[in-house]
């Protein structure tokens, strides 16, 4: 798998991010619209727990598998192992990437959230396969985020790690993500721009077409 390409349009979603939409329908529309990776993030107010969370994860994984879209679980290593997910994403306050690697094995994807060059370096040394950097802009989806970082940390990390996969995070929309790609990110992670859109498929198609334009302009 080419992780840089898989990070292009990286959709993150839980059942509580979809408003009045049916979550599995949102995911299917996002897949049809062209997402390249999916992260299952069932956290926060009104999130599913226990067996309901596991069943929802399995249903999401089934849709992703049918479309050959890599399926990543946020933070919950045990769930990822139980359902056979393609990988795990952890934050700075979650398990160390090295510990996650020991639990998952060498053939799974590990992503780590990073806000500084120092955190990126530590994640890479611990065995991460990609880093998620930001928040580029303010976001209301995650209430526990760090202060807005803009694109400076992405640029610094790219200068030090020329080929390492980086995905930008935080408040990204079709009309504002170009600076993150220009700074060195390989892709963008999206929650509300897809999950809260009136038509998730059209929103995803717009993100994907804009990404092609931005990448072509950056060459």
Catalytic (active-site) positions: 41, 113, 142
Decide if 190 contacts 30 (C-beta within 8 A): no
Q: Helices 200-218 & 23-33, crossing angle to 10 degrees?
A: 30
Q: Which two tokens stand for residue 86?
A: 């393609």
Strands 71-74 and 87-90: parallel
Distance between CA atoms of residues 129 and 152, nearest Å: 21
Q: Which two tokens stand for residue 108?
A: 């799974």
Decide if 88 contacts 126 (C-beta within 8 A): no
Which residue in 85, 37, 14 sits closest to 208, CA to CA? Answer: 37
Q: Which two tokens stand for residue 2?
A: 């080419």
DSSP string of 157-212, one letter each residue: HHHHSTTS-EEE-SS--TTT-HHHHHHT-SEEEESHHHHTSSSHHHHHHHHHHHHH
Distance between CA atoms of residues 71 and 51, nearest Å: 19
Question: How remote is the C-alpha of 69 from its chain's centroid?
Answer: 12
């Amino acid at each position: 798998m080419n992780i840089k390409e898989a990070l292009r349009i990286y959709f993150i979603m839980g059942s509580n991010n979809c408003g009045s939409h049916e979550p599995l329908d949102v995911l299917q529309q996002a897949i049809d619209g062209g997402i390249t990776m999916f992260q299952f993030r069932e956290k926060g107010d009104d999130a599913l727990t226990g067996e309901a969370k596991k069943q929802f994860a399995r249903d999401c994984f089934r849709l992703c598998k049918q479309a050959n879209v890599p399926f990543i679980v946020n933070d919950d290593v045990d769930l990822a192992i139980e359902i056979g997910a393609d990988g795990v994403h952890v934050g700075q306050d979650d398990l160390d990437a090295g510990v996650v690697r020991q639990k998952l094995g060498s053939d799974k994807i590990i992503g780590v959230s990073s806000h500084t060059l120092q955190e990126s370096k530590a994640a890479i040394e611990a065995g991460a396969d990609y880093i998620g950097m930001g928040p580029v802009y303010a976001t209301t989806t995650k209430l526990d985020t760090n202060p807005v970082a803009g694109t400076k940390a992405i640029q610094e990390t790219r200068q030090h790690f020329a080929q390492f996969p980086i995905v930008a995070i935080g408040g990204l929309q079709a009309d504002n993500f170009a600076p993150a790609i220009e700074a060195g990110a390989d892709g963008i992670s999206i929650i509300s721009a897809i999950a809260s859109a009136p038509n998730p498929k059209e929103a995803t198609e717009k993100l994907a077409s804009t990404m092609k334009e931005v990448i072509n302009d950056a060459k």
